[in-house]
Amino acid sequence: MQAPKHIVILTGAGISAESGIKTFRASDGLWEEHKVEDVATPEGYHRDPVLVQGFYNARRQQLQQEQIHPNPAHYALARLERLYPEQITLITQNIDNLHERAGSQRLIHMHGELLRARCPVSGQVIEWRGDLHQEDLCSCCQFPQPLRPHVVWFGEMPLGLDRIYGALAQCDLFISIGTSGAVYPAAGFVHEAGLNGAHTIELNLEPSELESQFDEKRYGPASLLVPAYVD
Ligand code: BJW
């Protein structure tokens, strides 16, 4: 691959599918078992915090099982970052930690991180590897608050947007990997990058909802496509 000046890479649930982590919108995906509005909105959380904490506790436990590992797609992106550390902005919508475990260091978790909890009042974020319960209170406020998962639900503001839009404004290559393009603002990044003159490429199992917006497309499993593209 010829080195562009700046590359923005956006990943979604599809990159972690072959590591054994379920995607959202597949027929056996996470939304098949749960209603989106129950487990991925602030309203759902306020209605039934125990249900929502249980949903994330189960995913947190699964992520830390021995058989869950980064796959060749995560490793290929980490290799690319080692080759071009200054030229790459890696943005993930995933809350798993598989990019970091593969060696990626300069990573933006725009929808948060499963292994962290957050105080809803001060915004303080702390590492959290075990189950999270309503009785787990923050230690930052005068009146301690129940900690919540450090994730971004529908209607909430994604994280790192200033850095993301800054990188999109200067990138000449935009690569989207394993995302359905169903959720904004991430679904708008290809348009944004295209406006700035970047070459855009989709690497996905199948054409996404945004397929027609990409200059180049390759379809198949990420564990094969990504190493073949970046190496
Ligand atoms: C493989 C593979 C393999 C499988 N190899 N590929 C109307 C119009 C426009 C916008 C809105 C609207 N109404 C509301 C909105 C905004 C809303 C939104 O987008 N709603 C849509 C439903 C329309 N967005 C928000 O509310 C966001 N905030 C916001 O907009 O703030 C205001 C704002 C304004 C202006 C600028 C900026 C901000 C927040 C969105 C938060 C999303 N949160 C979740 C949950 C996170 C925590 C958790 O993990 O539980 O994020 S929802 C869920 O979807 C999760 C994911 O990150 C996200 C995207 O899913 P992803 O990764 O694409 O997964 P899938 O399953 O959809 O797709 C997997 C893909 O992989 C598929 O294509 C497969 O084919 C492929 N695949 N195996 C390669 N082996």
Q: pLDDT tens across 125-144, in order?
A: 999 999 999 999 999 999 99
Can you give the residue ranges of every domain in the chain? 1-21+70-111+158-231, 22-67+113-151
Q: pLDDT tens across 161-170, in order?
A: 999 999 999 9
Output the CA 171–ligand 1 centroid distance in Å. Answer: 22
Would you state the pLDDT for residue 44?
A: 97
Nearest CA owner, ligand 1 atom 54: 183
Would you state the pLDDT for residue 3?
A: 64
Would you state the pLDDT for residue 31?
A: 87
Is the minimum distance from the CB of 179 to ligand 1 under 6 angstroms? yes
Would you state the pLDDT for residue 231?
A: 85
> Can you tell me which atom of ligand 1 is nearest the CA of 18?
80
* Rounded (5°) CA angle 200-23-130: 120
Which of 9, 10, 19, 23 has most ligand 1 atoms within 8 Å of its beta carbon, as the pocket-test mutant? 23
| DSSP sequence for the chain | ----S-EEEEE-THHHHTTT---SSSTTSHHHHS-HHHHSSHHHHHH-HHHHHHHHHHHHHHHTSTT----HHHHHHHHHHHHSTTTEEEEE---SSHHHHHT--SEEETTEEEEEEE-TTT--EEE--S---TT-B-SSSSS--B-EEEE--TTSPPS-HHHHHHHHHH-SEEEEES--S-STTGGGHHHHHHHTT-EEEEEESS--TTGGG-SEEEES-HHHHHHHHH-
Give, for all 231 residues of the chain, the pLDDT tens digit.
556 789 999 999 999 999 999 999 888 898 888 899 999 999 999 999 999 999 999 999 999 999 999 999 999 999 999 999 999 999 999 999 999 999 999 999 999 999 999 999 999 999 999 999 999 999 999 999 999 999 999 999 999 999 999 999 999 999 999 999 999 999 999 999 999 999 999 999 999 999 999 999 999 999 999 999 998
111 carries an active-site annotation: yes
Would you state the pLDDT for residue 2?
A: 58
Would you state the pLDDT for residue 32?
A: 85
Residue of 6, 74, 109, 111 marked catalytic: 111
Please check whether residue 107 is in contact with residue 89, taking contact to mean a CB–CB distance below 8 angstroms: no
Output the CA 190–ligand 1 centroid distance in Å. Answer: 14
Output the CA 92–ligand 1 centroid distance in Å. Answer: 11
Tell me, which fold does domain 1-21+70-111+158-231 have in CATH? Rossmann fold (3.40.50)
Is the minimum distance from the CB of 219 to ligand 1 under 6 angstroms? no
Output the CA 140–ligand 1 centroid distance in Å. Answer: 31
Which of 184, 189, 201, 211 has most ligand 1 atoms within 8 Å of its beta carbon, as the pocket-test mutant? 184
Residue type present at position 185:
P
Query: Which CATH architecture fits 22-67+113-151?
Result: 2-Layer Sandwich (3.30)
Nearest CA owner, ligand 1 atom 11: 184
